[in-house]
């Protein structure tokens, strides 16, 4: 067998593709579900934490900072294993899907909180003062004046971070979430052929290349032009 045929036989074997395509498609659906759930809860929680922090109540802010630092410093896989294997022993049973969703949401929330907070800080003090002096309450100034300006600044870094964290859905394979990578490795060991791994990689490309390209477009669209 020449090299090209061997390559096709190893990574693009037609019978294997036909046999395992439904599994990979099922995995894609699971990946999309978790990613969507993580994006929604993670960004919302991050925004809420940043807003709470903007009231500058010392003990509360300190707790938020500690949470954000820990969740940003630890590898997500460490947290996944900790929650998945640790909680059942103290009487809390979560499905592997729920564990992955919970951990990735917390990690995204930590990064999102820091990004939103940086955005709030970068709105000039004069904006606060002007808003308050027109008679707006603190909350009104925050929601109607500061936040709209802050969010615009946060879009590019938040997009990049969100893409990176949704790709971590692949970590679910370690605890048996039936997402793309899990389906691909299972199919690979059943078929004794590397084709399912190639299918898995292509499935990720199909899902994430458009996301990466949109992310780059957003980055230039919302770029902060320095004078």
Partner 1 sequence: MDAILQQFFNLDIMSQAAPLILRGLGMTLLVCLAVVPLGLIGGLLVALAGRARQRWLRFGVAALIDVFRAVPPLVLLIFVHAGLPFAGIRLSPFASVCVAFFLNTSAYYGEIYRAGFDSVGHGQWEAARSTGLTGFQAMMYVIVPQAVRNVLPDLVSNTVEVVKLTSLASVVALPEMLYSADMARSLTYNSSPIVLAAAIYLVLLWPVVRLISRLEHRLGG
Q: Which residues bind to partner 1, rule: CB under 8 A?
A: 6-7, 10-11, 69-70, 72-79, 81-82, 85-86, 89-91, 114-115, 117-119, 121-122, 153-154, 157, 163-164, 167-171, 173-174, 180-181, 184-185, 188, 193-194, 197-198, 200-201, 204-205, 207-209, 211-213, 224, 226
Q: Which is nearer to partner 1, 136 or 163 (CB)?
A: 163
Q: Which is nearer to partner 1, 66 or 134 (CB)?
A: 66
Residue 192 Cβ, how far from partner 1 at the closest point, in Å? 9
Place of tokens 């009104």: 140
- Closest-CA residue to 38 (of 163, 123, 124, 151): 163
DSSP, res 123: S
Q: Which is nearer to partner 1, 33 or 76 (CB)?
A: 76
Q: Which is nearer to partner 1, 75 or 139 (CB)?
A: 75
Residue 208 Cβ, how far from partner 1 at the closest point, in Å? 4
The answer to whether residues 197 and 188 touch, using CB atoms and an 8 Å cutoff, is yes
Q: Which is nearer to partner 1, 145 or 181 (CB)?
A: 181
What is the C-alpha to C-alpha distance for residues 204 and 181, in angstroms, rounded to an integer? 9
Pair of tokens at residue 38: 């993580």
Residue 2 Cβ, how far from partner 1 at the closest point, in Å? 13
Residue 8 Cβ, how far from partner 1 at the closest point, in Å? 11
- Closest-CA residue to 121 (of 131, 113, 111): 113
Task: Specify the 3-state DSSP secondary structure of 194.
Answer: coil
Side-chain-side CA neighbours of 22 within 13 Å: the count stands at 1
């Amino acid at each position: 067998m020449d090299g090209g045929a061997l390559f096709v036989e190893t990574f693009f074997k037609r019978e294997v593709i036909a046999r395992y395509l439904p599994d990979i498609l099922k995995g894609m659906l699971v990946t999309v579900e978790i990613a969507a759930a993580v994006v929604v809860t993670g960004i919302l929680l991050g925004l809420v934490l940043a807003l709470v922090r903007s009231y500058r109540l010392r003990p509360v802010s300190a707790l938020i900072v500690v949470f954000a630092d820990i969740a940003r410093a630890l590898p997500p896989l460490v947290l996944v294993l900790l929650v998945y294997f640790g909680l059942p022993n103290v009487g809390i049973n979560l499905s592997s899907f729920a564990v992955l969703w919970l951990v990735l949401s917390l990690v995204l929330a930590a990064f999102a909180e820091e990004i939103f907070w940086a955005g709030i800080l970068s709105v000039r003090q004069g904006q606060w003062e002007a808003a308050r002096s027109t008679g707006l309450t603190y909350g009104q100034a925050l929601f109607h004046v500061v936040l709209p300006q802050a969010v615009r600044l946060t879009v590019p870094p938040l997009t990049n971070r969100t893409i990176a964290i949704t790709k971590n859905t692949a970590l679910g394979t370690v605890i048996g979430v039936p997402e793309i990578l899990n389906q691909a490795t299972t199919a690979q060991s059943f078929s004794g052929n590397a084709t399912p791994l190639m299918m898995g990689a292509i499935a990720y490309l199909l899902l994430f290349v458009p996301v990466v390209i949109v992310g780059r477009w957003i980055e230039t669209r919302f770029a902060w032009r320095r004078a």
